[in-house]
Amino acid sequence: MNAATVIVGVIVLAIFVLAFRNVLKNIISGKGNCSCGCGNCPGSSICHPKKKEANEKRQGNL
């Protein structure tokens, strides 16, 4: 194998691993994976409930 091929392969692999790690980190911390924002998402109220609604649900008022 050519040394340049190995170096490029290692760089591509490192980028992939870092991107995958970032996705896992976001999933574990409860953040979404979408980078386009949640403003137009029909399910945004499920992922990001308003604080008042979340408190009422927690207290059983809804």
Domain identity same for 27 and 41: no
41 and 25 in a common domain: no
Work out how many domains the chain is built from and give that number: 2
Q: Which domain holds residue 9?
A: 1-31
Q: Is 32 exposed, middle or buried (0-12, 13-18, 19+ CB in 10 A)?
A: middle
For residues 42 and 24, state if they share a domain: no
Pair 7, 25 in one domain? yes
> Does residue 44 sit in the same domain as residue 26?
no
pTM for the predicted model, two decimal places: 0.49
Is residue 47 within 8 Å of 34, Cβ to Cβ? no
pLDDT tens digits, one per residue of 14-45: 999 999 998 888 777 766 656 566 667 777 67
* pLDDT attached to residue 35: 59
